[in-house]
Structure 1
């Protein structure tokens, strides 16, 4: 009587199998730099070295979780600045109704607000570019 034994483990790769091993000697400082870079990017040493050597079609290796956290904090800061602008506008409207608002203050506010809008649009463009680069 023949028993079927189940195969355990990962299936054998037919193509794309990595068979060759490269060795390199590093100083302690170089080794620490490689380890720190791999830790910072959240990838293995092998992935880091392979991506740096082969440059993977010009792609840059990034730590996506750290990037997303930075983008999140930028978005939060933009929201807070928008709230501050709304508070200033409300206060200006109250002063304007009472006839206490100076024309110089209005023109200065408009200049600063125009600058803010330009910077806000540029930040939005950059964020969209980053997201496009991340999604490939």
Structure 2
């Protein structure tokens, strides 16, 4: 490989080794050759000058998510009806207490389901 004149004021005292496939090495050599610089300098340029973006893809079952959103909507509607009842002077009854308990139970069930789905997305298949 053709060596270019290095600046005398810059030293690189740390050595880092990396294993490459033949195809990777060919790409490295081609890139360095195109710029007329050494492999080391080419790698330094890639490391220090090129911005690397991290893309995170979220893959989810849209039907399952839609069902969860619909369930949250129904629970929210029930809670609004209960709040309206109490705000208009409604009295606390056993039926209202049962309805509130059911809404809270549904919320906890949905929370558990969302956490289960999040665990699957992150590779954790444990159920609680």
Q: Same fold (TM over 0.5)?
A: no
Larger radius of gyration, structure 1 or 2?
2
Query: TM-score, with normalisation over the residues of structure 1?
Result: 0.40
If the length of structure 2 is used for normalisation, what is the TM-score? 0.43
More helix as a share of residues: 1
Query: Which structure has more RCO (C-alpha within 8 Å, separation ≥ 6)?
Result: 2
